[in-house]
Structure 1
Amino acid sequence: MVIGIIEDDELLKKALDTTLKRQGYITVLAGSKKEAIQNINRYVDLLIVDIGLPDGDGISLYQELQRNQKIPAIFLTARDDERDMLKAFDIGADDYVVKPFSMKVLLKRMEVVLRRTTGENVFMCGEVVLYPERKQVLIGKKEIYLTVKEYQLLEYFIMNQKQVLTKEMILEYLWGIDSESIDINTISVIVSRLKKKLGAESKLINNVFGMGYRMGE
Protein backbone atom coordinates (compact mmCIF):
# COMPACT_ATOMS: atom_id res chain seq x y z
CA MET A 1 0.00 0.00 0.00
CA VAL A 2 1.16 3.54 -0.76
CA ILE A 3 1.36 6.13 2.03
CA GLY A 4 1.82 9.83 1.34
CA ILE A 5 3.92 11.56 4.03
CA ILE A 6 3.58 15.36 4.06
CA GLU A 7 5.86 16.71 6.79
CA ASP A 8 8.30 19.63 6.79
CA ASP A 9 10.40 18.38 9.75
CA GLU A 10 13.15 16.48 7.92
CA LEU A 11 14.08 14.28 10.89
CA LEU A 12 10.48 13.24 11.52
CA LYS A 13 9.83 12.75 7.81
CA LYS A 14 12.87 10.47 7.55
CA ALA A 15 11.80 8.55 10.67
CA LEU A 16 8.29 8.06 9.27
CA ASP A 17 9.70 7.00 5.90
CA THR A 18 12.06 4.45 7.47
CA THR A 19 9.45 3.04 9.85
CA LEU A 20 6.76 2.64 7.20
CA LYS A 21 9.12 1.04 4.69
CA ARG A 22 10.17 -1.49 7.33
CA GLN A 23 6.50 -2.35 7.73
CA GLY A 24 6.22 -2.99 4.00
CA TYR A 25 4.55 0.23 2.92
CA ILE A 26 5.56 2.20 -0.16
CA THR A 27 6.03 5.89 0.62
CA VAL A 28 5.72 9.16 -1.28
CA LEU A 29 7.32 12.15 0.45
CA ALA A 30 6.66 15.88 0.46
CA GLY A 31 7.87 18.69 2.73
CA SER A 32 5.48 21.44 1.63
CA LYS A 33 2.13 22.10 -0.01
CA LYS A 34 3.85 22.68 -3.34
CA GLU A 35 5.74 19.36 -3.21
CA ALA A 36 2.61 17.51 -2.11
CA ILE A 37 0.57 18.82 -5.04
CA GLN A 38 3.38 17.78 -7.40
CA ASN A 39 4.11 14.36 -5.86
CA ILE A 40 0.88 13.01 -4.39
CA ASN A 41 -1.41 11.26 -6.85
CA ARG A 42 -4.59 9.22 -6.83
CA TYR A 43 -2.73 5.98 -6.20
CA VAL A 44 -1.98 6.93 -2.60
CA ASP A 45 -3.96 4.78 -0.12
CA LEU A 46 -3.49 6.99 2.96
CA LEU A 47 -2.08 10.42 3.76
CA ILE A 48 -0.13 11.44 6.86
CA VAL A 49 -0.39 15.22 6.87
CA ASP A 50 1.33 17.79 9.09
CA ILE A 51 -1.08 20.65 9.82
CA GLY A 52 1.70 23.26 9.90
CA LEU A 53 3.59 23.49 6.59
CA PRO A 54 6.06 26.22 5.50
CA ASP A 55 3.87 27.41 2.63
CA GLY A 56 0.42 26.93 4.10
CA ASP A 57 -1.61 24.60 6.28
CA GLY A 58 -2.25 20.89 5.87
CA ILE A 59 -6.01 21.26 6.16
CA SER A 60 -6.40 23.40 3.03
CA LEU A 61 -3.88 21.15 1.27
CA TYR A 62 -5.97 18.09 2.08
CA GLN A 63 -9.07 19.78 0.73
CA GLU A 64 -7.24 20.40 -2.53
CA LEU A 65 -5.82 16.87 -2.80
CA GLN A 66 -9.17 15.19 -2.32
CA ARG A 67 -11.12 17.23 -4.87
CA ASN A 68 -11.11 14.39 -7.38
CA GLN A 69 -10.95 11.43 -5.02
CA LYS A 70 -11.46 10.80 -1.30
CA ILE A 71 -8.15 9.82 0.30
CA PRO A 72 -8.07 8.72 3.96
CA ALA A 73 -5.88 10.98 6.12
CA ILE A 74 -4.28 11.13 9.54
CA PHE A 75 -3.23 14.64 10.60
CA LEU A 76 -0.15 15.46 12.68
CA THR A 77 0.27 18.60 14.75
CA ALA A 78 2.52 19.95 17.47
CA ARG A 79 -0.44 21.83 18.94
CA ASP A 80 -3.07 20.12 21.05
CA ASP A 81 -5.63 22.55 19.67
CA GLU A 82 -9.28 21.48 19.73
CA ARG A 83 -10.15 23.94 16.96
CA ASP A 84 -7.61 22.38 14.61
CA MET A 85 -8.87 18.92 15.48
CA LEU A 86 -12.51 19.79 14.82
CA LYS A 87 -11.66 21.59 11.58
CA ALA A 88 -9.67 18.57 10.36
CA PHE A 89 -12.57 16.24 11.13
CA ASP A 90 -15.02 18.61 9.45
CA ILE A 91 -13.19 18.23 6.13
CA GLY A 92 -13.01 14.45 6.36
CA ALA A 93 -9.93 13.57 8.44
CA ASP A 94 -9.94 9.98 9.70
CA ASP A 95 -7.70 10.53 12.73
CA TYR A 96 -5.53 13.11 14.46
CA VAL A 97 -2.20 12.64 16.31
CA VAL A 98 -0.47 15.19 18.52
CA LYS A 99 3.34 15.39 18.44
CA PRO A 100 5.38 13.87 19.95
CA PHE A 101 3.82 10.46 19.35
CA SER A 102 4.77 6.80 19.44
CA MET A 103 5.44 5.18 16.05
CA LYS A 104 3.71 2.02 17.31
CA VAL A 105 0.59 4.02 18.11
CA LEU A 106 0.65 5.70 14.70
CA LEU A 107 1.05 2.32 12.95
CA LYS A 108 -1.90 0.90 14.86
CA ARG A 109 -4.05 3.91 14.00
CA MET A 110 -3.04 3.53 10.35
CA GLU A 111 -4.14 -0.11 10.42
CA VAL A 112 -7.52 0.88 11.87
CA VAL A 113 -8.06 3.60 9.25
CA LEU A 114 -7.03 1.37 6.35
CA ARG A 115 -9.22 -1.48 7.57
CA ARG A 116 -12.17 0.86 7.97
CA THR A 117 -11.74 2.58 4.60
CA THR A 118 -11.01 -0.55 2.55
CA GLY A 119 -13.56 -2.65 4.41
CA GLU A 120 -11.25 -5.66 4.57
CA ASN A 121 -8.21 -7.07 6.31
CA VAL A 122 -4.80 -6.42 4.80
CA PHE A 123 -1.60 -8.32 5.59
CA MET A 124 1.82 -7.07 4.54
CA CYS A 125 5.44 -8.19 4.51
CA GLY A 126 8.02 -6.18 2.59
CA GLU A 127 6.25 -5.08 -0.59
CA VAL A 128 3.99 -8.14 -0.57
CA VAL A 129 0.36 -7.22 0.20
CA LEU A 130 -2.23 -9.95 0.77
CA TYR A 131 -6.01 -9.45 0.80
CA PRO A 132 -7.46 -12.65 2.34
CA GLU A 133 -11.11 -11.89 1.61
CA ARG A 134 -10.53 -11.67 -2.14
CA LYS A 135 -7.54 -14.04 -2.23
CA GLN A 136 -5.44 -11.41 -3.99
CA VAL A 137 -1.69 -10.81 -3.75
CA LEU A 138 0.09 -7.63 -4.87
CA ILE A 139 3.74 -6.67 -4.97
CA GLY A 140 3.62 -2.90 -4.94
CA LYS A 141 0.80 -2.22 -7.40
CA LYS A 142 1.38 -5.35 -9.50
CA GLU A 143 -0.81 -8.40 -8.94
CA ILE A 144 0.84 -11.82 -8.92
CA TYR A 145 -1.05 -15.03 -9.64
CA LEU A 146 -0.60 -18.09 -7.45
CA THR A 147 -1.98 -21.62 -7.42
CA VAL A 148 -4.28 -22.55 -4.53
CA LYS A 149 -1.48 -24.21 -2.55
CA GLU A 150 0.99 -21.40 -3.28
CA TYR A 151 -1.55 -18.85 -2.04
CA GLN A 152 -2.33 -20.89 1.08
CA LEU A 153 1.38 -21.20 1.82
CA LEU A 154 1.97 -17.46 1.42
CA GLU A 155 -1.04 -16.73 3.62
CA TYR A 156 0.35 -19.05 6.31
CA PHE A 157 3.77 -17.41 6.11
CA ILE A 158 2.53 -13.82 6.12
CA MET A 159 0.11 -14.37 9.01
CA ASN A 160 2.90 -15.92 11.07
CA GLN A 161 5.72 -13.52 10.26
CA LYS A 162 9.06 -13.98 12.03
CA GLN A 163 7.97 -17.39 13.34
CA VAL A 164 9.72 -20.58 12.26
CA LEU A 165 7.27 -22.92 10.53
CA THR A 166 8.36 -26.53 10.21
CA LYS A 167 7.60 -28.60 7.13
CA GLU A 168 5.28 -30.71 9.26
CA MET A 169 3.31 -27.63 10.34
CA ILE A 170 3.06 -26.42 6.75
CA LEU A 171 2.01 -29.87 5.54
CA GLU A 172 -0.80 -30.03 8.07
CA TYR A 173 -1.94 -26.46 7.27
CA LEU A 174 -2.09 -27.12 3.52
CA TRP A 175 -3.62 -30.59 3.54
CA GLY A 176 -5.22 -31.04 6.96
CA ILE A 177 -6.20 -34.65 7.71
CA ASP A 178 -4.84 -35.76 4.33
CA SER A 179 -1.31 -34.55 5.17
CA GLU A 180 -0.10 -38.03 6.18
CA SER A 181 -0.43 -39.20 2.58
CA ILE A 182 1.63 -36.32 1.15
CA ASP A 183 5.41 -36.57 0.68
CA ILE A 184 7.02 -33.99 2.96
CA ASN A 185 9.44 -33.02 0.16
CA THR A 186 6.43 -31.52 -1.61
CA ILE A 187 6.79 -28.55 0.72
CA SER A 188 10.25 -27.71 -0.64
CA VAL A 189 8.84 -27.75 -4.16
CA ILE A 190 5.93 -25.42 -3.33
CA VAL A 191 8.20 -23.03 -1.40
CA SER A 192 10.57 -22.92 -4.38
CA ARG A 193 7.72 -22.16 -6.81
CA LEU A 194 6.32 -19.47 -4.51
CA LYS A 195 9.69 -17.77 -4.12
CA LYS A 196 10.15 -17.74 -7.89
CA LYS A 197 6.83 -15.91 -8.33
CA LEU A 198 7.68 -13.42 -5.59
CA GLY A 199 10.78 -12.34 -7.51
CA ALA A 200 12.93 -9.87 -5.56
CA GLU A 201 10.63 -10.26 -2.55
CA SER A 202 11.57 -13.96 -2.30
CA LYS A 203 14.33 -12.82 0.07
CA LEU A 204 11.61 -12.43 2.70
CA ILE A 205 11.29 -16.22 2.97
CA ASN A 206 14.32 -17.81 4.57
CA ASN A 207 15.30 -21.42 5.12
CA VAL A 208 16.05 -22.02 8.80
CA PHE A 209 18.53 -24.88 8.62
CA GLY A 210 17.27 -28.09 10.20
CA MET A 211 13.99 -26.50 11.30
CA GLY A 212 11.88 -25.09 8.47
CA TYR A 213 11.09 -21.66 7.07
CA ARG A 214 10.55 -18.12 8.35
CA MET A 215 9.06 -15.10 6.60
CA GLY A 216 10.07 -11.58 7.57
CA GLU A 217 13.26 -9.75 8.40
Structure 2
Amino acid sequence: MSSQTILIIEDDESIRDSVEILLESEGFLVLKAASGEQGLSMLTGNTDLVILDIMLPGMSGYQVCEEIRKISVVPILFLTARSAEEDKVLGFSLGGDDYLVKPFSYVELSSRIHAMLRRHKEYDSSASRISTCSEKWLEHNGIKINTCKNEVFIDGNEVSLTETEYQILLLLISTSDKIFSAQELYEAVWNETYLQDSSNTVMVHIRKLRTKIEKNPQEPRRVLTIWGKGYKIG
Protein backbone atom coordinates (compact mmCIF):
# COMPACT_ATOMS: atom_id res chain seq x y z
CA MET A 1 0.00 0.00 0.00
CA SER A 2 1.12 3.55 -0.72
CA SER A 3 2.23 5.93 2.05
CA GLN A 4 2.27 8.98 -0.21
CA THR A 5 0.52 12.16 0.92
CA ILE A 6 -2.12 13.94 -1.18
CA LEU A 7 -3.48 17.38 -0.30
CA ILE A 8 -7.03 18.16 -1.46
CA ILE A 9 -7.89 21.87 -1.69
CA GLU A 10 -11.62 21.94 -2.40
CA ASP A 11 -14.45 23.99 -0.87
CA ASP A 12 -17.17 21.42 -1.64
CA GLU A 13 -17.27 19.17 1.44
CA SER A 14 -18.98 16.29 -0.36
CA ILE A 15 -16.26 16.17 -3.03
CA ARG A 16 -13.50 16.47 -0.43
CA ASP A 17 -14.92 13.59 1.57
CA SER A 18 -15.66 11.32 -1.40
CA VAL A 19 -12.19 11.83 -2.89
CA GLU A 20 -10.67 11.23 0.54
CA ILE A 21 -12.49 7.89 0.82
CA LEU A 22 -11.28 6.86 -2.64
CA LEU A 23 -7.66 7.78 -1.95
CA GLU A 24 -7.54 6.29 1.54
CA SER A 25 -8.88 3.02 0.13
CA GLU A 26 -5.77 3.00 -2.10
CA GLY A 27 -3.45 3.60 0.84
CA PHE A 28 -2.78 7.32 0.48
CA LEU A 29 -2.51 9.69 3.42
CA VAL A 30 -5.02 12.46 2.71
CA LEU A 31 -5.01 16.05 3.95
CA LYS A 32 -8.01 18.30 3.30
CA ALA A 33 -8.37 22.06 3.04
CA ALA A 34 -11.51 24.10 2.34
CA SER A 35 -9.69 27.21 1.07
CA GLY A 36 -6.53 28.17 -0.72
CA GLU A 37 -5.06 29.87 2.32
CA GLN A 38 -5.65 26.79 4.45
CA GLY A 39 -4.21 24.55 1.78
CA LEU A 40 -1.01 26.58 1.50
CA SER A 41 -0.55 26.40 5.26
CA MET A 42 -0.81 22.61 5.09
CA LEU A 43 1.63 22.15 2.20
CA THR A 44 4.94 20.64 3.28
CA GLY A 45 7.96 19.03 1.69
CA ASN A 46 6.29 15.67 2.34
CA THR A 47 3.29 16.48 0.12
CA ASP A 48 3.43 14.22 -2.95
CA LEU A 49 0.50 15.65 -4.96
CA VAL A 50 -2.07 18.46 -4.74
CA ILE A 51 -5.66 18.21 -6.01
CA LEU A 52 -6.80 21.80 -6.53
CA ASP A 53 -10.16 23.37 -7.31
CA ILE A 54 -10.20 26.70 -9.16
CA MET A 55 -13.31 28.35 -7.74
CA LEU A 56 -12.36 28.70 -4.09
CA PRO A 57 -13.38 31.27 -1.46
CA GLY A 58 -10.72 33.95 -1.07
CA MET A 59 -7.71 32.96 -3.18
CA SER A 60 -8.59 31.29 -6.46
CA GLY A 61 -7.04 27.98 -7.44
CA TYR A 62 -4.96 29.84 -10.02
CA GLN A 63 -3.48 32.06 -7.30
CA VAL A 64 -2.83 29.03 -5.09
CA CYS A 65 -1.04 27.30 -7.97
CA GLU A 66 1.19 30.35 -8.49
CA GLU A 67 2.09 30.42 -4.79
CA ILE A 68 2.86 26.70 -4.73
CA ARG A 69 5.13 27.02 -7.75
CA LYS A 70 7.21 29.64 -5.94
CA ILE A 71 8.28 27.02 -3.40
CA SER A 72 7.59 23.55 -4.78
CA VAL A 73 7.52 21.34 -7.89
CA VAL A 74 4.88 19.06 -6.35
CA PRO A 75 2.47 17.73 -9.04
CA ILE A 76 -0.77 19.73 -9.21
CA LEU A 77 -4.03 18.34 -10.59
CA PHE A 78 -6.74 20.91 -11.24
CA LEU A 79 -10.15 19.36 -10.44
CA THR A 80 -12.77 21.89 -11.49
CA ALA A 81 -16.08 22.55 -13.19
CA ARG A 82 -14.44 25.09 -15.52
CA SER A 83 -14.08 23.35 -18.87
CA ALA A 84 -13.24 26.16 -21.32
CA GLU A 85 -9.98 25.79 -23.24
CA GLU A 86 -8.72 29.16 -21.99
CA ASP A 87 -9.13 27.93 -18.40
CA LYS A 88 -7.02 24.87 -19.18
CA VAL A 89 -4.39 26.95 -20.95
CA LEU A 90 -4.15 29.26 -17.95
CA GLY A 91 -3.97 26.34 -15.54
CA PHE A 92 -1.13 24.70 -17.43
CA SER A 93 0.72 27.99 -17.95
CA LEU A 94 0.68 28.68 -14.20
CA GLY A 95 2.31 25.35 -13.50
CA GLY A 96 -0.52 22.84 -13.30
CA ASP A 97 0.41 19.32 -14.40
CA ASP A 98 -3.02 17.96 -15.29
CA TYR A 99 -6.64 19.10 -15.54
CA LEU A 100 -9.79 17.08 -14.88
CA VAL A 101 -13.27 18.52 -15.34
CA LYS A 102 -16.21 17.90 -12.99
CA PRO A 103 -18.26 15.75 -13.01
CA PHE A 104 -15.53 13.16 -13.18
CA SER A 105 -15.09 9.42 -13.03
CA TYR A 106 -13.35 8.15 -9.90
CA VAL A 107 -11.62 5.56 -12.07
CA GLU A 108 -10.19 8.31 -14.25
CA LEU A 109 -9.23 10.42 -11.22
CA SER A 110 -7.36 7.47 -9.74
CA SER A 111 -5.66 6.78 -13.08
CA ARG A 112 -4.56 10.42 -13.44
CA ILE A 113 -3.18 10.53 -9.89
CA HIS A 114 -1.15 7.34 -10.28
CA ALA A 115 0.18 8.51 -13.66
CA MET A 116 1.21 11.91 -12.27
CA LEU A 117 2.99 10.34 -9.31
CA ARG A 118 4.75 7.90 -11.62
CA ARG A 119 5.87 10.70 -13.96
CA HIS A 120 7.11 12.78 -11.07
CA LYS A 121 9.13 9.87 -9.76
CA GLU A 122 10.59 9.27 -13.22
CA TYR A 123 11.38 12.98 -13.56
CA ASP A 124 13.23 12.95 -10.24
CA SER A 125 15.18 9.90 -11.37
CA SER A 126 16.02 11.55 -14.70
CA ALA A 127 17.12 14.73 -12.96
CA SER A 128 19.49 12.76 -10.76
CA ARG A 129 21.06 11.24 -13.89
CA ILE A 130 21.66 14.52 -15.72
CA SER A 131 25.25 14.74 -14.47
CA THR A 132 26.04 11.44 -16.21
CA CYS A 133 24.35 12.45 -19.47
CA SER A 134 26.67 13.11 -22.39
CA GLU A 135 25.58 16.64 -23.30
CA LYS A 136 24.33 16.98 -26.83
CA TRP A 137 22.56 19.78 -28.66
CA LEU A 138 20.08 19.33 -31.50
CA GLU A 139 19.37 22.14 -33.97
CA HIS A 140 16.49 22.51 -36.40
CA ASN A 141 14.92 25.53 -38.10
CA GLY A 142 16.28 28.08 -35.63
CA ILE A 143 15.69 25.85 -32.59
CA LYS A 144 18.60 24.67 -30.46
CA ILE A 145 17.77 22.22 -27.68
CA ASN A 146 19.89 20.49 -25.05
CA THR A 147 19.10 16.76 -24.95
CA CYS A 148 20.20 16.41 -21.31
CA LYS A 149 18.33 19.24 -19.65
CA ASN A 150 15.66 21.82 -20.26
CA GLU A 151 17.69 24.42 -22.16
CA VAL A 152 16.18 25.77 -25.38
CA PHE A 153 17.20 28.63 -27.66
CA ILE A 154 14.99 30.06 -30.41
CA ASP A 155 16.87 32.10 -33.01
CA GLY A 156 19.66 32.57 -30.47
CA ASN A 157 17.38 33.66 -27.60
CA GLU A 158 16.83 31.39 -24.60
CA VAL A 159 13.19 30.52 -23.87
CA SER A 160 11.65 29.04 -20.74
CA LEU A 161 9.61 25.89 -21.32
CA THR A 162 7.74 23.73 -18.83
CA GLU A 163 9.08 20.20 -18.54
CA THR A 164 6.17 18.85 -20.62
CA GLU A 165 6.70 21.46 -23.36
CA TYR A 166 10.40 20.59 -23.38
CA GLN A 167 9.69 16.87 -23.70
CA ILE A 168 7.27 17.48 -26.60
CA LEU A 169 9.78 19.66 -28.44
CA LEU A 170 12.64 17.24 -27.81
CA LEU A 171 10.59 14.33 -29.14
CA LEU A 172 9.58 16.22 -32.29
CA ILE A 173 13.12 17.39 -33.03
CA SER A 174 14.65 13.99 -32.28
CA THR A 175 12.33 12.43 -34.88
CA SER A 176 11.87 15.35 -37.25
CA ASP A 177 10.79 13.14 -40.14
CA LYS A 178 7.84 11.64 -38.25
CA ILE A 179 4.27 12.91 -37.95
CA PHE A 180 2.83 12.17 -34.49
CA SER A 181 -0.87 11.70 -33.97
CA ALA A 182 -2.29 13.19 -30.76
CA GLN A 183 -2.44 9.67 -29.31
CA GLU A 184 1.17 8.87 -30.18
CA LEU A 185 2.38 12.18 -28.78
CA TYR A 186 0.39 11.78 -25.57
CA GLU A 187 1.50 8.23 -24.88
CA ALA A 188 5.15 9.04 -25.64
CA VAL A 189 5.36 12.21 -23.53
CA TRP A 190 2.84 11.58 -20.76
CA ASN A 191 3.69 7.87 -20.67
CA GLU A 192 0.13 6.81 -19.93
CA THR A 193 -2.91 5.41 -21.72
CA TYR A 194 -4.67 7.75 -24.14
CA LEU A 195 -8.15 8.65 -22.85
CA GLN A 196 -11.15 10.50 -24.25
CA ASP A 197 -9.98 14.04 -23.43
CA SER A 198 -6.25 13.40 -23.86
CA SER A 199 -6.35 14.98 -27.32
CA ASN A 200 -7.43 18.27 -25.78
CA THR A 201 -4.56 18.08 -23.30
CA VAL A 202 -2.12 17.66 -26.20
CA MET A 203 -3.64 20.56 -28.13
CA VAL A 204 -3.45 22.89 -25.11
CA HIS A 205 0.26 22.12 -24.63
CA ILE A 206 0.98 22.49 -28.37
CA ARG A 207 -0.78 25.84 -28.32
CA LYS A 208 1.34 27.06 -25.39
CA LEU A 209 4.50 25.72 -27.01
CA ARG A 210 3.71 27.62 -30.21
CA THR A 211 3.30 30.90 -28.32
CA LYS A 212 6.85 30.47 -27.01
CA ILE A 213 8.71 29.37 -30.13
CA GLU A 214 6.79 30.83 -33.09
CA LYS A 215 7.03 34.40 -34.37
CA ASN A 216 3.36 34.13 -35.29
CA PRO A 217 1.60 31.29 -33.42
CA GLN A 218 -1.40 31.61 -35.77
CA GLU A 219 0.83 30.74 -38.73
CA PRO A 220 3.27 28.22 -37.27
CA ARG A 221 6.38 27.33 -39.22
CA ARG A 222 8.04 25.15 -36.58
CA VAL A 223 5.45 22.95 -34.82
CA LEU A 224 3.04 22.08 -37.61
CA THR A 225 -0.24 20.23 -37.95
CA ILE A 226 0.00 18.25 -41.18
CA TRP A 227 -3.37 18.07 -42.95
CA GLY A 228 -5.11 16.96 -39.78
CA LYS A 229 -2.94 13.84 -39.50
CA GLY A 230 -0.85 15.01 -36.55
CA TYR A 231 2.09 17.11 -35.43
CA LYS A 232 5.65 17.39 -36.68
CA ILE A 233 8.53 19.82 -36.50
CA GLY A 234 8.77 22.08 -39.53
* Aligned counterparts of 1:78 and 1:110: Cα–Cα separation in 2: 18
1:1-217 to 2 correspondences below 5 Å = 1-119=4-122
Query: What RMSD in Å do the two structures reach over aligned CA positions?
Result: 1.2
* Aligned counterparts of 2:37 and 2:49: Cα–Cα separation in 1: 18
Letter in 2 for 1:13: R
* Aligned counterparts of 1:66 and 1:4: Cα–Cα separation in 2: 15
Summarize deviations over 1:146-192 as a string: whole Å, max 9, x none.
Answer: xxxxxxxxxxxxxxxxxxxxxxxxxxxxxxxxxxxxxxxxxxxxxxx
* Aligned counterparts of 2:119 and 2:36: Cα–Cα separation in 1: 27
Partner of 1:55: helix, strand, or coil? coil
What is the Cα deviation at residue 56 of structure 1? 2.3
Question: Which one has more relative contact order, counting CA pairs under 8 Å at least 6 apart?
Answer: 1
Question: How many equivalent pairs are there?
Answer: 120
* Aligned counterparts of 1:41 and 1:84: Cα–Cα separation in 2: 27
* Aligned counterparts of 2:45 and 2:62: Cα–Cα separation in 1: 18
Kept in 2, the 8 Å contact 1:46–1:73? The answer is: yes
Normalised TM-score (structure 1): 0.53
What is the Cα deviation at residue 108 of structure 1? 0.3
Letter in 2 for 1:32: S
Q: For residue 231 of structure 2, what is the aligned residue in structure 1?
A: none
* Aligned counterparts of 2:69 and 2:46: Cα–Cα separation in 1: 12
What is the Cα deviation at residue 111 of structure 1? 1.0
* Aligned counterparts of 1:99 and 1:76: Cα–Cα separation in 2: 7
* Aligned counterparts of 1:55 and 1:92: Cα–Cα separation in 2: 20
* Aligned counterparts of 1:64 and 1:93: Cα–Cα separation in 2: 12
Kept in 2, the 8 Å contact 1:75–1:95? The answer is: yes
Task: Specify the structure having the higher radius of gyration (Cα).
Answer: 1
Partner of 1:119: helix, strand, or coil? helix
* Aligned counterparts of 2:69 and 2:92: Cα–Cα separation in 1: 14
Summarize deviations over 1:80-131 as a string: whole Å, max 9, x none.
Answer: 11111001111221110000001110000111111111118xxxxxxxxxxx
* Aligned counterparts of 1:34 and 1:60: Cα–Cα separation in 2: 10
* Aligned counterparts of 2:110 and 2:85: Cα–Cα separation in 1: 23
Letter in 1 for 2:70: R
* Aligned counterparts of 2:32 and 2:93: Cα–Cα separation in 1: 25
* Aligned counterparts of 1:80 and 1:66: Cα–Cα separation in 2: 23
Kept in 2, the 8 Å contact 1:79–1:98? The answer is: yes
For structure 2, the 5+ residue unaligned runs are 124-234
Summarize deviations over 1:37-70 as a string: whole Å, max 9, x none.
Answer: 2212221001100011011211110111231221
What is the Cα deviation at residue 72 of structure 1? 0.5
Letter in 2 for 1:105: E
* Aligned counterparts of 1:104 and 1:26: Cα–Cα separation in 2: 18
Partner of 2:71: helix, strand, or coil? coil
For structure 1, the 5+ residue unaligned runs are 121-217
Normalised TM-score (structure 2): 0.50
* Aligned counterparts of 1:30 and 1:45: Cα–Cα separation in 2: 15
